[in-house]
Amino acid sequence: MTNRTLYQADVKTFLNTKPNEVIGSLARGHRQELVHEQTNAWISQIELLQQELRIFPDAYVLFEYSIPRMGKRIDTLIFYKGLIFVLEFKVGEYSFKSADKRQLMDYCLDLSLFHEESSKRLIIPILVATNAKNEEWKHNGISRSILAPILSNGDNLESIISSISEQYPTYNNLDFLTWLYSPYRPVPSIVEAARALYANNQVDDILRSDAGAENLNKTTNVIKSIIHHCNEHGEKAICFVTGVPGAGKTLVGLNIATDKDRVAEERAVYLSGNGPLVKVLREALIRDRKSQKTITETTEQEVHTSIQNIHHFRKHYMGSLECPDEQVVIFDEAQRAWNSTKLQQADSNFTGSEADFLIGVMDRQSDWTVIIALVGEGQEINDGEAGLESWVEALTRNYPHWKAYYSSELLLNDKLKGSLIHNFDRDIFCKDSLHLTSSIRSLRASNLSDFVGHLVDGDAAKAKIEYEKIQDRYPLAITRNFNLAKDWIRKSHEGNERMGLLSSSSAKRLRAVGIFNSIETDETKWFLEPEGDVRSSNALEEAVSEFKVQGLELDWALIGWDADYRYDGLEFEHFKFSGSKWQRRRLEESQVYLKNAYRVLLTRARLGMVIYVPIGDEEDETRKPEFYNKTYEYLSLCGLPELKDSEQSYRD
């Protein structure tokens, strides 16, 4: 038996084993306190399966198979004639609940996407409600090599397995041990990753072993070695970690902040100026502890201490000479640190930039300290965000005794070329593993960020080349029909995959077609509530902007494209809606923010997206068709196919 399953056997052996002996194996491997209901549920499953599997002696059966990333177990797996049957039992239930169907599909999707041997096989989900009426079962088609869930009360499992195996006889027999020890390579969302890391898992346990994850592990290890070096030698240093959107910068920071192997004097805290990200991560971790019934009086305090809002951190140390408890601080999205003007608007006592102040706070440490600055490329999206150069300027002017670590990629920044070399001649260290080159956000298209970069830059030819590399793995479409877009995304998403509606913060005229973007939207509810809750992103009722979604992600995204960022046939034009009309953005800085807003929106979806561009209205001066037509034509030139039928939902 492996630690992934509590019981495994060929069916012939299983049939000749007394139920109490199987229960004994399950109980020995069960880490939580057993309750009477669980034991009774197992007995019901075992007795039913020993009745229904008698004609399949050469099949294999597994009980309580663990899916590492989800922290949950599949009730039963049956392997027969190269097919994988996934059974979820609801003992005593009289009906088939939608939440149970989604849970079952989640298990199957995880196996199909992340488990090497399962990805090559047909997976058949069966939901068993033991007290439901005995009705004729239905086979409703295949999506992504997974059959639609089959509903059963258990009495017809023999018929289901026989019929399916006869209908799909082309699959080669599956070697059970090969399957059992096959690599499991998940790509978790940032919320899932935070949950796993907070539960003492390692990055290696929660990431697939591809180039992106390998790069991430190298980066993490380099940072750990720098922290240890500074501790041993009494040095102060800053590490600039750069990377493309979705490369895992936040995951690097969370991994360092939650490292349980770190010595006590290397305490770390994760800080972010991204309020929605902090709120969502905190709420997710607290909910997770509640669901596992491991919450204590100090749980919320522990979570809030390890993940903090950078503005609250700044406010705490403002006007005080107090020294932080932590020797290591991780500043996520460091490019969004405020410039001196913005900071003075918040508090007139400030005279420098936010980067200058934050370095100064950590410089209060008498012996050593390390700042890890996680820098997103092209992700400054708001007025007053100073960019990476503010950190370099602060170090240059006020902290020459600090050492700096960075990758050569950093020097490609036009505003920084030569500055680090010139100002930190003896105390800079170039380590290229501090740059994350591959996106781990998209499950099917690691170079999605390249495609999006060319698209928002207005380079249709290069965007088309990049799109052709991902089109077979990453479903992407454009449409001018909002209802069609919603139908497509609803039919494309499965199980508990999260879908959502996105639009830029300046997309003010999308409200005319039913896309409402409000700063009042509660991001914790939007990202965390389940399907069926109108506050959930899955309801497709409320859109969120780049400010709510940056640093987070969805599985499927519907993006509304307004006339704020419109193509004129040669290049993109930049507008903002003021009063009752569109006005041009004249300042280059404002234009960059708008472009970056669309870059952020277009890199949020892990599985696929559809872009909706309105038709416009000749009678509405704010929504003239010419405001939108050339943008749609441009997206088509980038290679994006037009969605003509909602049945075009993603199918293998």
CATH at residue 572 = 3.40.50
Q: Are residues 545 and 511 in the same domain?
A: yes
Residue 488 CA to residue 481 CA, distance in Å, equals 11
Q: How far is CA 429 from CA 122, 201, 225, in A?
A: 50, 31, 13
Span 588-595, average pLDDT: 93
* Amino acid 371: pLDDT: 97
Residue 476 CA to residue 605 CA, distance in Å, equals 10
Q: Are residues 482 and 411 in the same domain?
A: no
Residue 442 in any domain: the answer is no
Which of 632 and 71 is assigned the larger pLDDT?
632
| CA-based nearest residue to 413, from 375, 442, 455, 383 | 375
List the structure tokens of 478. 């454009």
Q: Are residues 432 and 455 in the same domain?
A: no
pLDDT in tens, 287-336: 887 776 666 666 677 788 888 998 888 888 887 889 998 999 999 888 87
Q: Are residues 294 and 149 in the same domain?
A: no
* Amino acid 382: pLDDT: 67
Residue 500 CA to residue 541 CA, distance in Å, equals 9
Indicate the helix (H) or strand (E) that contains 376: strand 369-376
pLDDT band at 652 (very low <50, low <70, confident <90, very high): very low
Q: Are residues 512 and 403 in the same domain?
A: no
Cβ-based neighbours of 461, under 8 Å, separated by 6 or more: none
Q: Which range of residues forms the domain containing residue 325?
A: 205-436
Mean pLDDT of the chain: 86
* Amino acid 144: pLDDT: 72
Residue 199 in any domain: the answer is no
Residue 189 in any domain: the answer is no
Q: Which of 378, 403, 436 is the endpoint of a domain?
A: 436
Q: Are residues 31 and 146 in the same domain?
A: yes
On whether the CB atoms of residues 332 and 268 are closer than 8 A, the answer is no
On whether the CB atoms of residues 426 and 387 are closer than 8 A, the answer is no
Helices (H), 16-97: 19-29, 36-52
Q: Are residues 140 and 17 in the same domain?
A: yes
pLDDT band at 426 (very low <50, low <70, confident <90, very high): very low
* Amino acid 443: pLDDT: 56
* Residue 211: pLDDT over 70: no
* Residue 490: pLDDT over 70: yes
List the structure tokens of 618. 């000749």
In 443-544 the beta strands, taken as DSSP E runs, fall at 476-479, 499-503, 543-544
Q: What does the chain come to in residues?
A: 652
Span 605-629, average pLDDT: 96
Residue 76 CA to residue 8 CA, distance in Å, equals 10
Q: Are residues 503 and 588 in the same domain?
A: yes
Q: Are residues 481 and 524 in the same domain?
A: yes
Span 258-267, average pLDDT: 74
* Residue 596: pLDDT over 90: yes
Span 357-385, average pLDDT: 84
Q: Are residues 148 and 287 in the same domain?
A: no
* Residue 538: pLDDT over 90: yes
Q: Are residues 428 and 461 in the same domain?
A: no
Residue 625 in any domain: the answer is yes
SS3 label, residue 457: helix
Q: Which of 402, 436, 470 is the endpoint of a domain?
A: 436
> To 10 degrees, the CA torsion angle through 603, 609, 615, 621?
-30
Q: What pTM did the predictor assign?
A: 0.78
Residue 200 in any domain: the answer is no
* Residue 1: pLDDT over 70: no
Span 520-534, average pLDDT: 94
Residue 23 in any domain: the answer is yes
Span 13-36, average pLDDT: 82
Query: What one-character DSSP code corresponds to residue 535?
Result: T
Which of 431 and 608 is assigned the larger pLDDT?
608
Residue 185 in any domain: the answer is no
The total number of structural domains that make up the chain = 3
Which of 105 and 412 is assigned the larger pLDDT?
105
Q: Which of 408, 436, 464 is the endpoint of a domain?
A: 436
Span 476-485, average pLDDT: 97
Q: Which residues pair with 331 in a beta bridge?
A: 271, 373
* Residue 494: pLDDT over 80: yes
Residue 324 CA to residue 314 CA, distance in Å, equals 11
CB atoms under 10 Å from CB of 21, counted, come to: 12
SS3 label, residue 226: helix
SS3 label, residue 523: helix
Residue 264 CA to residue 266 CA, distance in Å, equals 5
**What percentage of the chain carries pLDDT values higher than 70?**
86
Which of 298 and 580 is assigned the larger pLDDT?
580
Q: Are residues 160 and 211 in the same domain?
A: no
Residue 237 in any domain: the answer is yes
* Structure-token match 């006339």, residue found: 563
